A and B are shown apart, each in its own frame.
Chain A
Amino acid sequence: MIKATPILEVRDLRKSYGKVKAVDGISFAVREGSCFGILGPNGAGKTTAIEVIETIHDPDSGTILYRGEAVARSFKENIGIQFQDTSLQEFLTVRETLELFSKLYPRPRPMDEIIADCSLEEFIDRDNRKLSGGQRQRMLLGIALVNNPDLLFLDEPTTGLDPHARRNFWRLVQGIKAQGKTVILTTHYMDEAEYLCDDIIVMDHGHIIESGRPRELLLKHFGEAVIRVPEAAVPAGAAFSCPAESEEGFVSLTCADTDATLRELVAAGVDLRGVLVERRNLDDLFLKLTGSGLD
Chain B
Amino acid sequence: MQKFWAVFVARNLEFFRDRSTLIFNLVFPIILIFGFAFAFPGGGGTTFKIGTVGEAPAAGSASDVAFLHYKNLQLVPYASLEQPLDRLAHHQIDMVIDYSKGEYYVNDASANGYVLEKMLLPANSGKAAGAVVFAKKTVTGAPIRYVDWFIPGVIGINILFGSLSGVGFVIVRYRRNGVLKRFKATPLSAFQFVSAQVLSRFFIVAFISAVIFTGTDLVLHFRMAGSWGLLALVNALAILCMISIGLVFASRIKSEEVAGGIMNLITWPMMILSGVFFSLEGTPRAMQVASRAFPITYYIEASRAIMLDGAGFAQVAGDLGVLAAMTLVFLAAAAALFKWE
| Interface of A (DSSP majority class) | loop
Contacts of B186 in A (CB 8 A): 76, 101, 104-105
Interface hit among B7-15, B237-245, B284-292, B315-323: B7-15
CB closest residue in chain A, given B192:
A104
Contacts of B13 in A (CB 8 A): 91-92, 96
| A56 interface residue per 8 A CB criterion | yes
Q: Is the CB of A87 within 8 A of B3?
A: no
Q: Is the CB of B14 within 8 A of A91?
A: yes
Q: A88-B182, A99-B6, A104-B187 are in contact. List 12 more A-B contacts (CB 8 A).
A: A76-B185, A83-B181, A83-B182, A83-B185, A85-B178, A86-B181, A90-B14, A92-B10, A96-B13, A100-B9, A103-B5, A104-B7
| A81 interface residue per 8 A CB criterion | yes
Looking at the complex, which one of A56, A88, A103 makes contact with B3 (CB distance below 8 Å)? A103
CA of A76 to CA of B188 in the docked complex: distance in angstroms? Answer: 9
| A89 interface residue per 8 A CB criterion | yes
| B2 interface residue per 8 A CB criterion | yes
Contacts of B183 in A (CB 8 A): 104
Q: Nearest Cβ distance between residue B178 and chain A, in whole angstroms? A: 5
Contacts of B177 in A (CB 8 A): 87
Contacts of A56 in B (CB 8 A): 181, 184-185
Q: Which residues of A contact B (CB under 8 A)?
A: 54, 56-57, 73, 76-77, 81, 83, 85-92, 96, 99-101, 103-106, 143
28 A–B pairs (Cβ distance < 8 Å), ordered by A: A54-B185, A56-B184, A56-B185, A57-B341, A76-B185, A76-B187, A81-B185, A83-B178, A83-B181, A85-B178, A86-B178, A86-B182, A87-B177, A87-B179, A87-B182, A88-B182, A89-B10, A89-B14, A91-B14, A91-B17, A96-B10, A99-B6, A101-B186, A103-B6, A104-B7, A104-B188, A106-B187, A143-B182
Q: Is the CB of B18 within 8 A of A90?
A: yes
CA of A106 to CA of B2 in the docked complex: distance in angstroms? Answer: 10
Q: Nearest Cβ distance between residue B266 and chain A, in whole angstroms? A: 25
Q: Mark B3-45, 1 if CB is under 8 A from A, else 0.
A: 1011101110110011000000000000000000000000000
CA of A97 to CA of B186 in the docked complex: distance in angstroms? Answer: 14
CB closest residue in chain A, given B14:
A91
Tell me which residues from 167 to 225 in chain B have a Cβ below 8 Å from any Cβ of chain A: 174, 177-179, 181-188
What's the A-B contact tally at a CB cutoff of 8 Å? 63
CB closest residue in chain B, given A86:
B178
Contacts of A88 in B (CB 8 A): 179, 182
CA of A81 to CA of B129 in the docked complex: distance in angstroms? Answer: 94
Q: Is the CB of A100 within 8 A of B6?
A: yes
CB closest residue in chain A, given B182:
A86
Residue from B2, B181, B186 having most chain A Cβ neighbours under 10 A: B186
Q: Nearest Cβ distance between residue B253 and chain A, in whole angstroms? A: 17
CA of A147 to CA of B300 in the docked complex: distance in angstroms? Answer: 48
CA of A90 to CA of B179 in the docked complex: distance in angstroms? Answer: 10
Looking at the complex, which one of A57, A76, A100 makes contact with B7 (CB distance below 8 Å)? A100
Q: Is the CB of B182 within 8 A of A77?
A: no
Q: Nearest Cβ distance between residue A49 and chain B, in whole angstroms? A: 15
CA of A89 to CA of B200 in the docked complex: distance in angstroms? Answer: 14
CB closest residue in chain B, given A79:
B185
Looking at the complex, which one of B2, B179, B185, B187 makes contact with A89 (CB distance below 8 Å)? B179
Known A86-B178, A100-B7, A104-B6; judge A77-B187 contact (CB<8 A).
yes
Q: Nearest Cβ distance between residue B2 and chain A, in whole angstroms? A: 5
CB closest residue in chain A, given B176:
A87
Q: Nearest Cβ distance between residue B193 and chain A, in whole angstroms? A: 10
Q: Nearest Cβ distance between residue A76 and chain B, in whole angstroms? A: 5
Q: Is the CB of A91 within 8 A of B18?
A: yes
Contacts of A90 in B (CB 8 A): 14, 18
Contacts of A77 in B (CB 8 A): 187
CA of A91 to CA of B17 in the docked complex: distance in angstroms? Answer: 6
Q: Nearest Cβ distance between residue A107 and chain B, in whole angstroms? A: 11
CB closest residue in chain B, given A102:
B6
Known A103-B2, A104-B187; judge A89-B11 contact (CB<8 A).
yes
CB closest residue in chain B, given A84:
B178
Residue from A54, A91, A96, A99 having most chain B Cβ neighbours under 10 A: A91
CA of A99 to CA of B9 in the docked complex: distance in angstroms? Answer: 11
CB closest residue in chain A, given B16:
A91
Residue from A57, A101, A106, A143 having most chain B Cβ neighbours under 10 A: A101
Contacts of A73 in B (CB 8 A): 187
Q: Nearest Cβ distance between residue A139 and chain B, in whole angstroms? A: 12
Looking at the complex, which one of B14, B178, B184, B188 makes contact with A92 (CB distance below 8 Å)? B14
CA of A97 to CA of B208 in the docked complex: distance in angstroms? Answer: 26
CA of A105 to CA of B182 in the docked complex: distance in angstroms? Answer: 14
CA of A64 to CA of B187 in the docked complex: distance in angstroms? Answer: 19
Contacts of A54 in B (CB 8 A): 185
